[in-house]
Structure 1
Amino acid sequence: MRVEKDVTNDLTRLSATEMMRGLANRLFSSTELVKAHLLRIEEVNPKLNAVAYRRYEHALKEAEAADHLRLLSKTDPSTLPRLLGMPITVKEMYRIEGLPITGGVHKHRNRLATEDAAVVSRIKAAGAIVLAKTNMSTLTMAHETDNVLFGRTNHPLNPLHTPGGSSGGEAALISTFASPWGIGSDLGGSTRLPAHFCGIVGIRPTYGRISSVGEYPAYSHHLHMNSVGVLARNVQDTQVLYEVLSDHHISPLVPREIPIKWLAQTDKAPIDEELALGMEQLIRAMRDSGLAIESVEGRFLASATALWQNVILQDRGQETITEIQEGSSFHLFSELMKSKRGTSVYHKWILRLLLGARLFPPSEQAIRSFPRQIERLREKFREITEDRGVLLTPLYPTASPRHGKVAHYVYNNMGSRVLPYLVFVNVLGYPGIAVPIGRTKAGFPFGIQVVGGAGQEQVVFAVAKAIEEIAKFI
């Protein structure tokens, strides 16, 4: 069955919810929908470099099977899987049986997954069809998307700019209508930062809400900071995929009954004037709509970046070395020099991470204090949000910068200037969602963040939907 280009554009520009409705009403087939997205991927990927591995033949066969099942179930469509025939993309870190699972590491370039990750099993059981695995940073350990196996992923609006990371491949494809939604991860903003840079929605749920079994890497010393991430082009689509992955139904809430607090910026991480004005305009519009929003100071975020960094570096990089090392020995400074010459099999950013782990490891006393510091931050958050509300914050001080700019801050020990709004959520282990609200004069999108308490995804989604609706009119 041939899909013309204009039909491709019509189908791929639907929301995921509209696609599901169209499939249910037989306005188009899953085969047509999948083919349309495959054509779109091939159209945009040469510029983006967002795809790590294609799964096209399997996807087309699964689409035909979905169409056949829908035809057989004509009398009782309610018995069909919720996502039957829906295309989706998945970050390279999640195992898909028969496909490589590398984490962007040269050592694992030929390793194949022998089973599906939990999130992949769940979406397959719901009837979704995986089109491709998407690019990421090495071992998810950078806020941009680049590695020695697949290279650098570019921003959809300008190839000189970054889509963010580490789930940048997902965000780039979704924002260009090459995928309706996808699965990422979030250790330090890896879902929310690409969503902010690319103008889509991305949530990191409460730690443990979605099973991470079968992800690679899986660092035990990262505690509760990493979470499966969900990305889509609007809040409703994000909620649908979240519900499937978490088996947690989101009931509607009235935003006016939710305490909403607004943290405009911290002194150490000032926000670009254009973004600050856009967010203040949104806050005024929200207040004008009848929502009570109280402004709060950001001093409680002062220690969040250092705490997040110390948790990651507490093993002095040993687990990372174990994962990437080829041969009987590993010499960091030698590899750093080889990296500058372009002859190392290790990416420069993972080497810079290891250098930081060697130069700035937390002391044993600091490591013992982690539980106390984390609980103190949680207590302050609960106090600010009245234990049932949300905190609105920026996501990052700027819209998408040029490649290397985010990594420059992080790997030169200046993360506190750019990361506190992202990583305090990971330190908490709580849900945070990025919602697009505007564009800069140069055309780059930017968003705002909604953070809720542990297990309070319902509150987060309710406020995110209100923001999305209000942002349409400002």
Structure 2
Amino acid sequence: MTTTPAELVRLTAAQMAAKLRAGEITAVELTQAHLDRIAAVDGTINAFLHVSAEEALETAAEVDKIRAAGGTGAQALHPLAGVPIAVKDLIVTKGQPTTAGSKMLQGWMSPYDATVVEKIRAAKLPILGKTNLDEFAMGSSTEHSAYGPTRNPWDTGRIPGGSGGGSAAAVAAFEAPLALGTDTGGSIRQPGAVTGTVGTKPTYGSVSRYGAIAMASSLDQIGPVARTVEDAALLHELIGGHDPKDSTSLPEEVPAFSEHARNHQLTGLRIGIIKQLQGEGYQAGVLARFQEALEALRSAGAEIVEVDCPSFDYALGAYYLIMPSEASSNLARYDGVRYGTRVLPEEGPLTIERVMGATRAAGFGEEVKRRIILGTYALSAGYYDAYYGSAQKIRTLIQRDFEAAFEQADVLISPTAPTVAFPLGAKLDDPLAMYLNDIATIPANLAGVPGISVPGGLSYDENEQGLPVGIQFLAPAREDARVYHAAGALEKLLQTDAEPLWAQIPELAETAGAASSSVVEGAN
């Protein structure tokens, strides 16, 4: 039976890989189906800043040629070979522009690949292009991109989360089956929650950060975005592992995460409810889906306990001192001299200081400027101990709270985000309200532990419109397999009539052309 292009893009990555290996479809057919989908709907979604059709089809054709020849070459292909993927535009990719969603890097072409991109290319996954994000990953809604906001496929008047809303929206809109994101305070998991997709933040150091444009180096982590827990696990297996080019990389082998994702046995698993990550500030519909998830897990044999993590109450404040401080240091390199955009002052002498001032004024957006100023202030001589130093002490207390919690539970659980996707523009004028979206995801980054967001159903709080809710699992450092086990089991429990949540995404009206022309032109 022939699979139509519309049906192809709605398969899971694992199903696509199985059909490719069985010879039921070709990699070129699969890649072209996704490119056609991007052309049809991305004018509305704006998930992609750059589409690399020629390179993607070349890679797909190479996979088909190897499979057609058979023998050891076909046997040596990676299980995901031929399955297309999108890459967040914070991860450098040779031959494609990398902008970080900023005018500061408009049209910039990296001379090298990030380690994760090297692994993707070696495994022969066609790279469809680069996805939109909040500028330099600073935001929770993908409204702070210099190239326009990305829209949520569930409701195009709402945000897709951030900073990696482009990757999550591309996967949710069936423009790509897999994507790469980065998670500094929840930028993979929170978009996953509000788009009904799966997003994983690996243990800090278990996936190489080499080639990820740094915002906060002690917090940033590359991770997978997918529609199912198994797909996320398969991608994690590919991109994980030690990298000598990354000084923070852990020297450990990558476990078979996908096997754990398929293990739905919950008897004896201790799941800890985090006392501080529920209740006030969480929408009623989010809490309702959370309670339903807990009951489903309990009924399947899991032991549910409550854990107290008192330092989590201070996590948001600590994060918004540590992250801007590191960002202000990392972004100092964008000076209009070495690379990227250069803007000359309109009047006065042509000095480095004046070029730097004019370049940063024109190249950085308002949110980036806000965080640079905040971070510079926190690091200044008179305030370092009071602000940055105190925040690092809170970070240590949070790590200790996690250690105590994991003595009582194998994994921890909470809602991923306190609300469903909010309307575009609703919080742009209130930075503090925007920052609160990360309240449940930030502790994992401060402690370096792994986390995953899995769809937990729909909330009907606002005008009876069903919008996705995310459920988050956290595990001890280096125990990423546990989050895949728990998330895979919950995913299976919550599927009704064998229909996953992402299959319920509303149909999108087709539009003419993609929304990436300005970036593509800047690269030429």
Q: TM-score, normalised by structure 2?
A: 0.81
Question: 1:313 & 1:173 partners in 2: Cα distance?
Answer: 28
1:394 corresponds, among 400, 406, 415, to 415
**Is 1:141 equivalent to 2:138 in the alignment?**
yes
Residue deviations 1:255-303, cap 9 Å, x none? 3333210126547852100111111011112111211111234533111
Question: 2:231 & 2:327 partners in 1: Cα distance?
Answer: 40
Question: 1:364 & 1:331 partners in 2: Cα distance?
Answer: 29
Question: 2:371 & 2:279 partners in 1: Cα distance?
Answer: 22
SS at match of 1:448: strand
**1:79 Cα offset (Å):** 2.1
Question: 1:330 & 1:355 partners in 2: Cα distance?
Answer: 18
Question: 1:182 & 1:21 partners in 2: Cα distance?
Answer: 19
SS at match of 1:261: strand
> Which position in structure 2 is the counterpart of 1:226?
220
> Which position in structure 1 is the counterpart of 2:239?
245
> Which position in structure 2 is the counterpart of 1:176?
173
Q: Are the equivalent residues in 2 in contact too, given 1:143–1:406 (CA < 8 A)?
A: no
SS at match of 1:435: strand
1:353 corresponds, among 371, 376, 387, to 371
> Which position in structure 1 is the counterpart of 2:518?
none
Number of residue pairs aligned between Structure 1 and Structure 2: 459
Question: 1:320 & 1:76 partners in 2: Cα distance?
Answer: 44
1:69 corresponds, among 63, 66, 69, to 66
Question: 1:388 & 1:149 partners in 2: Cα distance?
Answer: 43
Identity of aligned residues (%): 26
Question: 1:231 & 1:377 partners in 2: Cα distance?
Answer: 26
Give the counterpart letter for 1:270 in structure 2: G
2:447 corresponds, among 420, 428, 439, to 428
**Is 1:385 equivalent to 2:406 in the alignment?**
yes
Question: 2:490 & 2:140 partners in 1: Cα distance?
Answer: 25
SS at match of 2:471: strand
Higher deviation after alignment, 316-325 or 449-458:
316-325
**1:377 Cα offset (Å):** 1.4
Q: Are the equivalent residues in 1 in contact too, given 2:102–2:145 (CA < 8 A)?
A: yes
Q: Are the equivalent residues in 2 in contact too, given 1:349–1:407 (CA < 8 A)?
A: no
Question: 1:77 & 1:334 partners in 2: Cα distance?
Answer: 54
Q: CA RMSD in A?
A: 2.8
SS at match of 1:255: coil
> Which position in structure 2 is the counterpart of 1:457?
480
Residue deviations 1:8-67, cap 9 Å, x none? 111111100000000000001001000111111111101101111111011112211110
Question: 1:65 & 1:77 partners in 2: Cα distance?
Answer: 11
2:384 corresponds, among 355, 358, 364, to 364
Q: Are the equivalent residues in 1 in contact too, given 2:417–2:440 (CA < 8 A)?
A: yes
1:22 corresponds, among 19, 23, 27, to 19
> Which position in structure 2 is the counterpart of 1:446?
469
SS at match of 2:440: helix
SS at match of 2:39: helix
Give the counterpart letter for 2:369 in structure 1: L
Give the counterpart letter for 2:320 in structure 1: Q
Question: 1:97 & 1:242 partners in 2: Cα distance?
Answer: 21
1:373 corresponds, among 391, 394, 412, to 394
> Which position in structure 1 is the counterpart of 2:348?
none
The answer for unaligned runs of 5 or more in structure 1 is 339-343
Shift of the 324–346 alpha-carbon distance from structure 1 to 2, 3 Å rule, reads farther
Higher deviation after alignment, 244-253 or 445-454:
244-253
Residue deviations 1:53-109, cap 9 Å, x none? 111011112211110001112577432223221111101111111211221222321
**1:229 Cα offset (Å):** 1.8
Give the counterpart letter for 1:186 in structure 2: D
**1:329 Cα offset (Å):** 4.6
Q: Are the equivalent residues in 2 in contact too, given 1:275–1:398 (CA < 8 A)?
A: yes
> Which position in structure 2 is the counterpart of 1:341?
none
Residue deviations 1:226-277, cap 9 Å, x none? 1002100000000000001114123536533332101265478521001111
Shift of the 267–390 alpha-carbon distance from structure 1 to 2, 3 Å rule, reads closer
Alignment of 1:67-466 (within 5 A): 67-74=64-71, 77-147=74-144, 149-216=146-213, 218-219=214-215, 222-247=216-241, 248-249=254-255, 250=257, 251-252=259-260, 254-263=265-274, 266=277, 270-297=281-308, 299-314=310-325, 317-323=328-334, 326-327=343-344, 328-329=352-353, 344-357=362-375, 363-365=383-385, 366-369=387-390, 371-386=392-407, 389-405=410-426, 407-409=428-430, 411-412=431-432, 415=435, 417-441=436-460, 442-466=465-489
Residue deviations 1:147-188, cap 9 Å, x none? 564211111122321101111111111001110011000001
Shift of the 447–158 alpha-carbon distance from structure 1 to 2, 3 Å rule, reads same
Question: 2:233 & 2:408 partners in 1: Cα distance?
Answer: 22
Q: Are the equivalent residues in 1 in contact too, given 2:276–2:312 (CA < 8 A)?
A: no
Give the counterpart letter for 1:256 in structure 2: T
SS at match of 1:380: helix
Structure with bigger RCO (C-alpha 8 Å, 6+ apart): 2
Question: 1:26 & 1:315 partners in 2: Cα distance?
Answer: 49
Higher deviation after alignment, 181-190 or 295-304:
295-304
SS at match of 2:224: strand
**1:313 Cα offset (Å):** 2.6
Give the counterpart letter for 1:356 in structure 2: L
The answer for unaligned runs of 5 or more in structure 2 is 242-253, 337-342, 345-351, 498-524
Shift of the 180–282 alpha-carbon distance from structure 1 to 2, 3 Å rule, reads same
Give the counterpart letter for 2:298 in structure 1: R
Question: 1:450 & 1:191 partners in 2: Cα distance?
Answer: 13
Q: Are the equivalent residues in 2 in contact too, given 1:388–1:453 (CA < 8 A)?
A: no
Residue deviations 1:188-245, cap 9 Å, x none? 11101110110000001001101111112x24xx343110021000000000000011
**1:393 Cα offset (Å):** 0.9
**1:384 Cα offset (Å):** 1.3
Residue deviations 1:357-401, cap 9 Å, x none? 466668322434555432321121121121761110111111000
Give the counterpart letter for 2:32 in structure 1: K
**1:142 Cα offset (Å):** 1.2
> Which position in structure 1 is the counterpart of 2:490?
467
